[in-house]
Copies of this chain bind each other. A is one copy, B any other.
Amino acid sequence: MILKSQVEWALHCCAILAGLPDGRYLSTKALAEFHGLPKEYLSKALQSLSQAGLVHTTLGPSGGYRLAKSPAELSFLDIVEAVEGKTRTFVCNNIRANNPCRPQGYCESSPCAVARIMWEADEAWRERLRSVNLAQLTETLSQEIPSKLWKSSFEWVLDRAG
């Protein structure tokens, strides 16, 4: 069980968009080139972000994407769920219903205990993702990335932002 690589792509793209000045947009083409990703397929991930309302888009030359909210209001969970979906990572197929000892028409009152425990772990995962936002990420990145590279990347992006 491994998350789609689109999750990684979306997170990195949002990190870039978080640094974009107000009113500017960055295209799929630029984001794909910056990260070395297939443009058409990355576009699907960005469409997911758009459908989830996390980014705003414009068409035409100088069009592209910008964040729909401030970086502090966008959590990792928002982005992960936009791309990966909100479905829990454990699916209960209720195999206890196949128990040959069950009386006819028996109906369980509550979800399977196994599933409940797995879902609690799933929720712990989501809670952790919910607790980190894009502002925190960019703060960390700005500290870790050499200022020269940080600066030149910023310029590279601004050169291409409409």
Write the residues of chain A forming the contact surface with B, with a CB cutoff of 8 angstroms. Answer: 1-5, 7-9, 11-12, 15, 33-37, 76, 84, 87, 89-93, 95-103, 106, 109-110, 113-115, 117-118, 120-122, 124-129, 132, 137, 140-141, 144, 149, 152-153, 156
Q: Compute how far the CA of A154 lies from the CA of B124 in the bound complex, rounded to whole angstroms.
A: 33
What number of copies of this chain does the assembly contain?
Answer: 2
**Contact status of A98 and B36, CB under 8 A, knowing A8-B90, A121-B128:** yes
Residues on B with C-beta less than 8 A from A110 are 144
Specify the main secondary structure of chain A where it touches its partner: helix
- A140: nearest chain-B partner, CB-CB: B113
Residues on B with C-beta less than 8 A from A9 are 95
